[in-house]
Amino acid sequence: MAEECKHRQPQLRINQKIVDAAKKVVDLPNVSDSLRLQCIEIHKKQTDVVSTQTLRGIYNTLRSAGQIIFLHEMVEEAVFVPQPVIPPPRNPELEARIQKLKIEEENKEYRRMTQNLEPRGKKAFSFQEDGKTYLS
């Protein structure tokens, strides 16, 4: 069931410092094609959010190129974009069992609430006896 959960990368809104860092990465040689494409999208502002994985790639590339850059300064003014939680689909067998247990619990509760409504040991009400007591 844990395999069905989708892990999503945290994302941040792009700020000017991230755009400047992405521009520097685009101009560097020996950058992976995927990172270069992501940096071009950031630089051209085709996207308004960036994943933390991409930020880490930009940071590591610039550091390995000898540039002095700090990750905390890059994300200083960026806003964290919360991701919605997508729960995994429930097991149909589990759902059927839960429904069965709910029905059983409701029946037990109903029996508990109605156990004192029918008097034990007393006979059922009859109009004939009621009429006799009225006439006398």
pLDDT digits (tens, 9 = 90+) for 104-124: 999 999 988 888 776 555 556
Give dist(CA 109, CA 115) in Å, integer: 10
Cβ-Cβ contacts under 8 Å for 42 (sequence gap 6 or more): 14, 18, 19, 22, 50, 54
| 101 pLDDT higher than 90 | yes
pLDDT digits (tens, 9 = 90+) for 53-95: 888 999 898 888 888 888 888 888 888 888 888 888 889 999 9
Least confident of 9-18, 32-41, 77-86, 114-123: 114-123
* Domain ranges (residues) in the chain: 8-81
Cβ-Cβ contacts under 8 Å for 115 (sequence gap 6 or more): none
Identify the H or E element spanning 81.
strand 80-81
Length of the chain: 136
Of all residues in the chain, what percent carry a pLDDT higher than 70?
Answer: 80
Residue pair 23/39 in contact by the 8 Å Cβ criterion:
yes
The predicted pLDDT at position 5 comes to: 42
Give dist(CA 67, CA 22) in Å, integer: 13
C-alpha dist (Å) from residue 2 to 62, 83, 89: 36, 18, 10
**pTM to 2 decimals?**
0.56
The predicted pLDDT at position 109 comes to: 93
